[in-house]
Amino acid sequence: MERLPDRFLVMVLQHLDYKELFACRVTCKRIHAAALDPAVWRHRSAGEEETVRWLRPVLRFAPCLAKLEVNYPPVYPGTPTRLPYDTTKCAVETLNMGMDGFVSIADVLLAAKIIRNQEKLGRLKHLEVEFQEDCTVVDSSQAVLFKTALSTSTLESLELAGWPTEDAANIVFESVVRVQMPPLKSIKCDLAVHMKPFINLVLDKLANTLEKVNFHSYVYPDDPNMCLATEMSSPTVTLLAGMPNLRWLDCPPFAGIEVLGRCKSLREITITMQEEWNAGLQGVARFLRQATHLRKVCLMHRTAVEKPSSPGVDLVLALASSKESEVEELRVSNFFKLSDATMPHLKPLLSALPMLPNLRLLWLEEAADAFLTAITPTNAPALRCLRLIPSFRSVMSSDCSHAWVHKKAAQTLLSKNPSLHVRLDFPPCEKKRERCKFCRLSCHKALRRVSAWKDSVGLFAHPENDCPAPDFHTKSNFVWIEM
């Protein structure tokens, strides 16, 4: 141990858990000093359920963290009380602040002090402030917290979840109207009609620096903000279209969304659709026809698409119709479909494939056998990965990836497309429940290593040492099966 250079000692300490690390501190002065090296801590997080018991020593001794989670009131059993969040010297890169239930003025003002303390320490880049739906808080103190968040000079990204009441909207707006905001690159927030002036103010002030804008697009049918897709149109969409560096956007089908075609820096977009917003789908189609600069597109159907006549089912044809599409990654999501037989979005998708010559990655929630066997190098020449993720129906029925390995359509797909990788983001049958007939067989023993909902199963049919797309044939969190 004495001959081991300090840098190697630090590398060893990086892999210890909190219990082992704090035990090492009392062994000798050399290990004590090495345990305080920032490299030992900068990848760690604290405040989650599994780490709350170590919060007090972490805040006292750790020089830095990757992430700190703070909740008022505490949500995890065993969370210590009176923690020195606002005076700690532990500098974090990401700070998540959660407000749930009844929160006092003192709690909210303390949250603002915690943010200011991390700003002084100089490492804070990412901040999340979340007010849960049942959170009760005095409006003026909430305005203080929003003002603090939007004026934190070190930030690169900010996430705001949960808005004040309509009565408090003006208070919050007035609190930030003169704030000097940092040059944020990313912002994520809920959409709410009564917060439209606030949202547009923030977008206007950050127009020259924002690269990523994420609106929480899903609302429930009885939500009073259901009309936001039309009411949050101009000037919101105009502001977005004029951003010189915007490259990533997640939004609903805003009225007037077609003006986003003018934003030539935009490369990735997710458009979330549901039945109540169908009025905006014609604008989405017009936008997709002209947005030839897009590289990644996600069409998210939050209302199940059950019929060929369902609104939005053929939007992928609008994307492909320009004949100049450069889309490399496409996701068409129909998560809430309930029937295995209802996949009306697959027919227009199959028609669109030949007009998407650069498409390398296709995401779907399941795929009909007829669709799988129709994919060829002729109609999808660049396709290198088909990623299948669970739908609501498949989660409820506990579909099995081992059964998919034996699927005849899967074997046909890979025999026709030897350059393709199939990624299955759902596990084999879990050991504790009744296993399917395929999991009862003694084949494909590698699948036993799959950690449920953590690992993916990958299928391929080409020589492993001569992979045409090694970026998809990654080893991390994968169990690969050669067909």
d(CA 478, CA 483) in angstroms, rounded, equals 15
pLDDT recorded at residue 266: 98
Q: Which domain holds residue 88?
A: 63-182
pLDDT recorded at residue 445: 75
Length of the chain: 483
Residue 134 makes CB contacts below 8 A (sequence gap 6+) with 100, 101
Q: Which residues sit opposite 423 in a β-bridge?
A: 387, 458
First to last CA, the chain: 48
Residues of the chain predicted below pLDDT 70: 1-2, 101-102, 133-139, 217-233, 276-277, 303-311, 335-342, 391-398, 430-433, 451-454
Residue 43 lies in a domain: no
pLDDT recorded at residue 396: 46
Contact 366, 398 (CB under 8 A): no
Residue 83 lies in a domain: yes
pLDDT recorded at residue 138: 58
Contact 353, 379 (CB under 8 A): yes
pLDDT recorded at residue 221: 47
pLDDT recorded at residue 280: 77
d(CA 468, CA 280) in angstroms, rounded, equals 40
Closest to 344 measured CA to CA, from 365, 314, 370: 314
d(CA 15, CA 21) in angstroms, rounded, equals 9
Contact 339, 308 (CB under 8 A): no
Residue 155 lies in a domain: yes
d(CA 142, CA 135) in angstroms, rounded, equals 11
d(CA 440, CA 252) in angstroms, rounded, equals 45
Strands 186-190 and 212-216: parallel
pLDDT recorded at residue 23: 87
Residue 414 lies in a domain: no
The count of structural domains within the chain is: 1
Give the tokens for residue 32: 């004590």
Give the tokens for residue 346: 């697959």
pLDDT recorded at residue 298: 94
| Interval 26-51: pLDDT, tens | 788 888 888 889 999 999 999 988 88
d(CA 171, CA 308) in angstroms, rounded, equals 47
Contact 458, 473 (CB under 8 A): yes
DSSP code of residue 412 = H
pLDDT recorded at residue 136: 59
pLDDT recorded at residue 170: 83
Contact 410, 459 (CB under 8 A): yes
Q: Say how many CA atoms lie within 13 Å of 194 toward its Cβ.
A: 14
pLDDT recorded at residue 393: 53
d(CA 67, CA 45) in angstroms, rounded, equals 5
Strands 456-460 and 421-424: antiparallel
pLDDT recorded at residue 101: 64
Whole-model pTM? Answer: 0.89
Strands 478-482 and 91-99: unpaired
Give the tokens for residue 192: 């709410």
pLDDT recorded at residue 194: 80
Query: Positive or negative CA dihedral for 318, 323, 327, 330?
Result: positive
How many C-beta neighbours within 10 Å does residue 381 have?
Answer: 15
| Interval 273-286: pLDDT, tens | 877 667 778 899 99
Residue 195 lies in a domain: no
Residue 378 lies in a domain: no
